[in-house]
Amino acid sequence: MISLFKNLYLTDRIFYCLGGVVFLFFLSYLIHPVFYLAIVFLIGCFVSLSIDIYILFKKLNVTIDRTMASVFSLGDQNSVSLYVENKTDRFLTIKIIDEVPYQFNERDFSIRVGIQKRRTETVTYYLSPKIRGEYFFGNLHVFVGTRLGLARKRETTYCERFVAVYPSIMLMKQQELAALKHPSFTQGDKTNKKVGRSYEFDQIKSYVDGDDTRNINWKATSSLNKVMVNHYEDERSQQIYSIVDKSRVMRTPFDGLTLVDYAINSTLAFSNIVLKKQDKAGLIVFSKKVDTTVKASRGPLHLKKIMFSLYKEKYDYSEANYEALYSTIRKTITNRSLLFLYTNFDSIYSLERNMKILKMINKYHALIIVFFENTELETFSKSPASSVLEIYQKTLAKKSILEKFQIIKELRAQGIHAIKSPPEQLSTKTINKYLELKSNGFL
């Protein structure tokens, strides 16, 4: 009996019927025979309700199960499938309430479906997480009703589950397919002289004209009584680092995600392509200090290590400390490497404050700065102005856009490559730049 009252829910239909009965009772004051009609309708309501409750509560009506990926992709549409089986010999109307994680802000999430007797229906809905981390899915509640529709029975399936939201795995797969069409994958890389290349020891051999005298092995020379030199071969695996600035300037929102999230999604897709090209992928994440460092390497598990490191990153509201970044780079990265720095300079002044450090980094490594283009600001600046205030606002917007071009010009004047990209195209432009440099023998 306690279970019945706990799981019984009356529908709007029974209240409409009772409201009609009350109206008939009021009408019977004017037309006396209507009183008996009201009594018949009242009895009919209670009998129908009793039958409906008996049918619903005599046994279990449905079973339901939830299936979804163990890991969700940040910013992508992730599917959740519900399998509902009607275990009775009658048609059922079902309202499903899934306890979705609070991060989605779904306060009234429900799905309605009708299921024929002894049939199984699949209901699929999609969720797009905007924050990395762990999401908690609660239980499934099914409110079952018959064709009478006077009452509903709640049946609960206990299926609590945690799901981790990682940087966009879907984007990584899409970019991998797109990169396969790039000429460098089908035509190979040029073998001309490469800027700042490193070497791996191969063998000791006799000196011949043209050998670099700096490679003379004096110990072997004294032992064999003839000039011997160390012979090196080009190191095929280059070190490629993704450096993510997660400071205050990267907290700007765009289409539900922050610039940090776009940079993290791009880093995962970019690192995957680097490993596919047999290079070594590394990671540095910093703000007021360097929080994460993954030394450049390759192997079947290295991408998972980078993915897990990106998954754990938390947002920061402090200023970026480029001095700490430079110190870490000098200590961690011993060989000349290609560095992709994801950041966002708001003005020429913010660039000039850190230009000295950037030039020092670029002295020892090949630095590529990737920063963001404010597409909303550009759209606003191109729209017609209807007041003096809007003219002033559009002037400031155009000034901000012009400063972005000045930043690129200033960086190139210092020998630093720069990429300006809309957030949604960040992965594509970064990967294309890497493949272009790789195919041209820049590394």
CATH for 62-166 (2.30.290.10, 2.60.40.10, 3.60.20.10, 3.40.50.720): 2.60.40.10
The strand pair at 151-157 and 140-145 is best described as antiparallel
Q: Tell me the backbone φ, ψ of residue 276, rounded to 5 degrees.
A: -65, -30
Local structure of residue 75 (DSSP, 8 states) = T
C-alpha 187/C-alpha 191 separation (Å) is 12
Mean pLDDT along residues 36-47: 94
Q: What is the mean pLDDT of residues 376-397?
A: 82
| Averaged pLDDT score across all residues of the chain | 87
What pLDDT is attached to residue 226?
Answer: 85
Q: What is the pLDDT of residue 198?
A: 46
Range 375-385 burial, b when 16+ CB lie within 10 A, else e: eebeeebeeee
Q: Which residue has the tokens 């609960």?
A: 156
* Of 157 and 383, the one with more pLDDT: 157
Q: Which pLDDT band, with edges at 50, 70 and 90, does 371 fall under? A: confident
- CA gap 260, 262 in Å, rounded: 5
Give 191's pLDDT tier (boundaries 50, 70, 90): very low
- Spatial CA neighbour of 96 closest among 59, 69, 122, 76: 122
The closest alpha carbon to 366, from 255, 304, 443, belongs to: 443
The CATH number of domain 169-191+236-439, selected from 3.40.50.300, 3.40.50.1370, 3.20.20.80, 3.40.50.410: 3.40.50.410
Q: What is the pTM of this model?
A: 0.77
Mean pLDDT within 434-441: 81
At residue 196 the predicted structure's pLDDT band, cuts being 50, 70 and 90, is: very low
431/237: higher pLDDT: 431
CA distances from 61 to 48, 51, 113, 121, 196 (A): 19, 15, 14, 14, 71
Instruction: Give the tokens for residue 399.
Output: 């000034």
Domain boundaries, the chain: 2-57, 62-166, 169-191+236-439, 199-234
Q: Buried (b) or exposed (e) across 48-57, using 16+ Cβ within 10 A?
A: bbeebbebbb
Segment 105-121 shows an average pLDDT of 90
Q: Where are the beta strands (DSSP E) in 298-393?
A: 338-342, 366-372
Partners of 417 in beta bridges: 368
Please check whether residue 165 is in contact with residue 74, taking contact to mean a CB–CB distance below 8 angstroms: yes
Pairing of strands 366-372, 140-145: unpaired
Cα 22 to Cα 37, 42, 326: the distances in Å are 11, 9, 81
| Phi and psi at residue 259, to the nearest 5° | -65, -30
Considering only CA atoms, give the Rg of the chain.
33
**What is the distance, to the nearest Å, from the Cα of residue 325 to the centroid of all Cα atoms in its chain?**
25
Nearest Cα residue to 217 out of 226, 235, 208: 226
What pLDDT is stored for residue 183 in this prediction?
Answer: 63
Nearest to 333 by CA among 373, 369, 374, 290: 290
Per-residue pLDDT at 197: 43
Checking if the pLDDT of 193 tops 50, the result is no
Q: What average pLDDT score do residues 374-381 get?
A: 79
Taking the CA atoms of 318, 320, 324 and 325 in sequence, report the sign of the dihedral they define. Answer: positive
Indicate the helix (H) or strand (E) that contains 234: strand 228-234
C-alpha 229/C-alpha 214 separation (Å) is 9
Q: Report the SS3 class of residue 13.
A: helix
What mean pLDDT do residues 237-258 have? 88
High-pLDDT (> 70) share of the chain, %:
93
